Copies of this chain bind each other. A is one copy, B any other.
Amino acid sequence: MGFWKSIFRVFGTTEPTKKNRLRPVPNQNGQIFFSTDRDIDVYELEELCDAVGWSRRPIRKVRKAIQHSFIVISMWEKRGTYSRLIGFARATSDHAFNATLWDVVVHPEYQGKGLGKALMKETIKSLRQADISNISLFADAHVVEFYRQLGFSPDPEGIKGMFWYPP
């Protein structure tokens, strides 16, 4: 149900709705769309995460995380009547000062085409529109350069990203 409902919300109208801020992006394959609808099919999302080698997570927790994220951005390719989830990003936030990005992913078949950049620009734009000025993330070593090109600074003024592990 979730899948079809989600697809309907994204592609069921010929005119982009303001709510979902749909905007087609030129692409050599098909048409690329962005959606901020959080009623996303979590199985399809986990399949996408699987494709980039992330470990599987309990569906119930993924659903809860999406529900409690400040923004959720999904990227879709539409070919005829079929549409496919090809990218995703979400952010937690205090709705006032900061937002932190999580689960930024682009399907391997769609990498290297500028779509990750487009997804991030869409995400930053959404956060700026929500008056968030402090956008942060934790980048794996091999994507630090990708984020740097988008305007992200590693360790600005000596600030260190740190993670807690049980002692």
Query: Which A residues fall within an 8 A CB radius of B?
Result: 57, 61-62, 64-69, 90, 92-98, 100, 102, 124, 134-141, 144, 147-148, 150-167
Number of copies: 2
Beyond A92-B94, A94-B64, A94-B68, whether A164 also contacts B141 by CB under 8 A is: no
Assembled-state Cα–Cα distance A155/B119 (Å) = 25
Residues of B within 8 A of A166 (CB): 151
Q: How far is the CB of A33 from chain B (nearest CB, A)?
A: 24
Give the residue among A92, A135, A140 with the most B Cβ atoms within 10 A.
A92
A155: chain B residues within 8 A (beta carbon): 160-162
Residue of B nearest to A58 (CB): B96
Partner among B64, B93, B138, B153 whose Cβ is within 8 Å of the Cβ of A68: B93
